[in-house]
Amino acid sequence: QVLLQQWGAGLLKPSETLSLTCAVSGGSFSDYSWTFIRQPPGKGLEWIGDLHHSGSTNHNPSLKSRVTISMDTSKNQFSLKLSSVTAADTAIYYCARVGGIAPPPRRRSYLDYWGQGILVTVAS
């Protein structure tokens, strides 16, 4: 059974850097891509970015260049850093595994395993 366990600081001040880590167990780490999703309290889901097993990343332009996603393959972990946070970044942050069928360009992806979510609150 694949498990994603997340941790990170739950309370930040404006302008600080959000830092979350997701540890993967029970399955292959190097064969998959990984992603972060967030959800402001009471609102919908927003894709933050992803990390391919090659090490390449993509991120949501709405977050400008504040996002860094990285991995430590020796520990089967991947991490999110979001700099210069404001109250608008208050949300539950999820990590998830990106599964898929067919190779590019016909790839269809999906998020099949999720972490438990962490509420990150930004307040002065």
44 CB contacts (<8 Å, ≥6 apart)?
Answer: none
Give the C-alpha separation, 53 to 33, whole Å.
Answer: 5
- Interface residue with other proteins, options 25, 45, 75, 86 (CB under 8 A): 45
Give the C-alpha separation, 90 to 103, whole Å.
Answer: 36
- Interface residue with other proteins, options 13, 30, 41, 44 (CB under 8 A): 44
| Residue closer to other proteins (CB basis): 34 or 94 | 94
Both tokens of 56, joined, read 């390449």
53 CB contacts (<8 Å, ≥6 apart)?
Answer: 30, 31, 32, 33
| Residue closer to other proteins (CB basis): 96 or 122 | 96
13 contributes a contact to other proteins by CB under 8 A: no
Q: What amino acid is encoded at 19 in this protein?
A: S
Query: Where on the phi/psi map is residue 30: left (φ > 0), alpha (ψ -120 to 50), or beta?
Result: alpha
In angstroms, give the least distance from the CB of 46 to other proteins. Answer: 7
What x-and-dash track marks residues 75-104 binding other proteins by CB under 8 A? -------------------x-x--x-x---
19 contributes a contact to other proteins by CB under 8 A: no
7 contributes a contact to other proteins by CB under 8 A: no
- Interface residue with other proteins, options 55, 61, 103, 104 (CB under 8 A): 61
